[in-house]
A = this chain, B = another copy of it.
Amino acid sequence: MKTDGLSINLATVRQQFDLKAGVEACLRHGITAISPWRDHIQTTGVAEAARIIRSNGVRVTGYCRGGLFAALDAPGRQAAIDDNKKMIDEAATIGADCIIVIGGGLPQGSRDIAAARGMFFDGMAAVLPHARACKVPLAIEALHPMYAADRGCISTLAEALDLCDALGKGTGVVIDPYHLWWDPDLAAQIARARSRILAHHICDWLVPTKDLLLDRGMMGDGVIDLPAIRRMVEDAGFHGHQEVEIFSAENWWKRPGDEVLKTCVERYNTVC
């Protein structure tokens, strides 16, 4: 079965594999692209992570996840900016195609989502010169509106693209159907995104969804018309990897990692 164009976000096998084991498992299944999270890299050590990635010849389609700039006070915001700059250095070292950045939630006690969005913009503007210097694009991921309070206050692709318009070179967007599939404006916004599409994530929306965060579905097990969204993405000019990202505490995280990867390959060939 085809594995060209398939990438595995290592969150999908978070409970089964660390970076090294995850890379080796992907290669067993013919998958040559991954997307690690920060803890994968930091646990392994950045230099050793880069060595594992390079010596195995795997592509890094994204590095998860930065952003989250909103904080109660200026020192908190500065700490987030500094940490994002450090993450940009790590991304350059491991050769990631981009960093995935999310809005972050409201600061503790705040009910001002517009202010949180403003802090996200300011944080992006503060780190962008360093990202450009390191040639690491920042891919803004609009998260599903159910995460607006505590995870990602950037909620629509339109909003993410408005931010790209305002921030300029070095920014782009992630298309993740899990977060965006419901949007009546999706087709128009994907067409608008064009060359700013930096990554394309896939998983599925289960009915019922039992947990807001950790009950995402394998492609084909839910209600998202993934081929339709893939065509929109391709029509917009993006022909990069489809990256499987599934948070599934009660199902896929409990299965053997090789079974999960085998299923990803099968569904990639039959569903996506």
Task: Using known A-B contacts A146-B144, A223-B149, determine if residue A184 contacts B159 with beta carbons closer than 8 Å.
Answer: yes
Among A146-183, those with CB < 8 Å from B are 146, 148-150, 153, 155-156, 158-159, 181-183
Cβ of A110 within 8 Å of any chain B Cβ, yes or no, is: yes
Task: Using known A-B contacts A117-B184, A184-B117, determine if residue A150 contacts B207 with beta carbons closer than 8 Å.
Answer: yes
Cβ of A145 within 8 Å of any chain B Cβ, yes or no, is: yes
- Judging by beta carbons under 8 Å apart, are A149 and B117 in contact? no
Cβ of A260 within 8 Å of any chain B Cβ, yes or no, is: no
- Judging by beta carbons under 8 Å apart, are A150 and B117 in contact? no
In the complex, which of the residues B111, B117, B159, B222 contacts A224, with contact meaning CB atoms closer than 8 Å?
B111
The docked-state distance in angstroms from the alpha carbon of A148 to that of B225 is 13
- Judging by beta carbons under 8 Å apart, are B225 and A145 in contact? no
Cβ of A133 within 8 Å of any chain B Cβ, yes or no, is: no
Among A87-117, those with CB < 8 Å from B are 105-106, 110-113, 117
- Judging by beta carbons under 8 Å apart, are B144 and A156 in contact? no
A192, chain B: closest CB distance, angstroms: 15
Among A115-131, those with CB < 8 Å from B are 117
The docked-state distance in angstroms from the alpha carbon of A145 to that of B43 is 36
- Judging by beta carbons under 8 Å apart, are B223 and A111 in contact? yes
